[in-house]
Amino acid sequence: MRRDASFPRITLFNITALMLWMKTYLAYKFSFDIRVDSWLQELILFINPLSFLLLVLGVSLFLTEQKRKQYLFLSSFIISFILFANILFFRFFNDFLTIPVLFQTKNMSDLGGSVTELINTSDLFYFIDLLVLGIIMKIKPEKLRKSEYSNYEKKMLITASLAIATFNLGLSEIVRPQLLTRTFDRKMLVKNIGAYNYHLYDIFLQSKTSAQRAFADSSELIEIQNYIRSKQPMPDEKMFGIAKGKNVIMVSMESMQSFVINRHVYGHEITPFLNDFIQDSFYFTDFYHQTGQGKTSDSEFIVENSLYPLGRGAVFFTHSQNEYHATPEIMKSHGYYTASLHANNKSFWNRDIMYQSFGYERFFNINDYEVNPENSVNWGLKDKPFFHQSIQHLLNMPQPFYAKLITLTNHFPFTLSPEDQTIPAYHSSSDTLNKYFPTVRYLDQALEQFIGELKTSGLYEKSIIILYGDHYGISENHNDAMSEYLGRPVTPFVSLQLQRVPLIIHIPGVKGRKISNVSGQIQVRPTIMDLIGIRGKETIEFGNSLFAENNDGLTVLRDGSFIGKDYAYTRESCYQRKSGELTDRRNCEPFIEKAKQELEYSDKIIYGDLLRFYKEIENRR
């Protein structure tokens, strides 16, 4: 066999590699909507799948002809499945899969309708190449070369694969210096090193982080403590202890974003109750969710610990056995009874395990509620019967208590029974956005009912009520429809503003007000501690009370974006806060490293399980 005759001829290897390469590039452009700003970025996007595909498919060259066919087909199927799994994940979460997410498989049985809602008929395109391969293998066309490959050709393939990978990484470093240190920005990683190489890098990161706990020591926590104490603001003495001895009732409002507050759809008020409720409450108009891939569980983690969630996976799964000094544990030490109420399977998001680590005394789950087909929809028990049945649970608790209630109905895919729809759906290109408004209105009505029942039960005057949105409901994949509803283009800056969620703190008998300071979920825990009069820091926390004086006004999101007093930063661009106009990136640079440092410090605490050293350090002081 002549060396120079193989690769120019048509082979099954060539066909498989070409189809997977083109399919991946088309997925970048149409399913992941990866945008480029220059011809160099387009070149990087085009070539980045190639090195991985040549290397993996190149293994077939070392096999016999029959085994080569089987290997190429199986490899093509696995790669296609990985690509399609990322497409489905991206459609809702606007993110890419990570190793920790793949271990969250026990959530899948509860996802049901959410997954089927994401699948389109056009997705068959991503498996056409498998059909083509099968037909080729079946009919065995004469033009399809059946020769073996020489050692020279095998070496050349491996060399070409490594050369392309090196060239790809070199170009990427030119476009985005220190690319591999920005592990929280998965879109950027996929854009530059490719979807498949990103997964290899993710495996490396998982191996690295798994070893961090074993090599961690108390000196790392001391460094973080010193950083946190250096930015500690003074408390507001007027607010400190203003709710001392009262019950704390906290409601996590599923997928509730701030853009619906005081807004209408076809003349119908979307949240009439909340619009009135905030008039007598402390309402934080510039409050952001800071969740990552864990969504609702991440929001729980943030508000209970004042730590950032992880950039990869959900802390509830990856580090549920860590030592935490969570709100329930601290409240319990100050005489509060602590409970969480959520009408879902107790193991969903690993809550039954994580709540033990948080120090909850009781978890009221689906087994504590009367659930039937008549009072359920979508993810389970509707919010109205959930709140109604929860009142009795609250009445049976010793007082004072700290209770967190997690709603369900306003969850993707925003399915609602016809009898519960009291405002019309929106009409746009996005079925998700269209259905969102009626489910938000249902949640608003459920909250009105809940507050009314708290008053009737006698619990209202004895409690402070905290309502917060857990994460976005409408992802960036629906920006075209959102632009239509908002009446303006959804630029990256507008998209950043859409990460605002409501935070309402209602203290009966205390006059509230609107507060426009930039803030985030990481500040909820220290705010609760201030209000009920727990003096000083009892553990490590990155947030400060929302009522503290001289807060630095910098809110960091899990993807590295941030919002400050004058500037906001997202997707490598700096914006003026007031106008939303692009400005010189140098205006944001003093805060970019600070944001990165906060995220890295918080990650160190979780990966290293550093809070296990806290008492040891405090005893030495």
Quote the Cα angle for 257-261-264, to 5°: 115
Contact between 320 and 354 under an 8 Å Cβ cutoff? The reply is yes
> Could you give the count of Cα atoms lying within 13 Å of 395 in the half-sphere of its Cβ?
12
Residue 589 DSSP symbol: H
CB atoms within 10 A of CB 127: 16
Percent helix, strand and coil across the chain, each rounded to 5?
Answer: 55, 10, 35
Instruction: Establish how many alpha carbons lie within 13 A of residue 260's alpha carbon, considering only the half-sphere containing its beta carbon.
Output: 31
Q: Which residues in 248-277 are b (16+ Cβ under 10 Å) and which e?
A: bbbbbbbbbbbbbbebebeeebbbbbbbeb
Which residue among 271, 296, 327, 439 is the active-site one?
A: 296
CB neighbours of residue 463 within 10 Å? 22
Residues 6+ apart with CB under 8 A from 118: 88, 91, 92
Cα dihedral 342, 348, 352, 354 sign:
negative
Nearest to 280 by CA among 529, 514, 545: 514
- Please indicate whether residue 583 is annotated as part of the active site: no
The CB density around residue 120, as the number of other CB atoms within 10 Å, is 12
The DSSP secondary structure of 152-185, one letter per residue, reads: HHHHHHHHHHHHHHHHHHHHHHHHSTTGGG-TT-
CA distances to 300, 336, 482 from 404, rounded to whole Å, are 9, 13, 31
Count the alpha carbons within 13 Å of 193 in the hemisphere toward its beta carbon.
Answer: 24
Phi/psi-derived region of residue 414, left when phi > 0, alpha when psi is between -120 and 50, beta in every other case: left
Tokens of 501: 């969620």
**What is the set of active-site residues?**
296
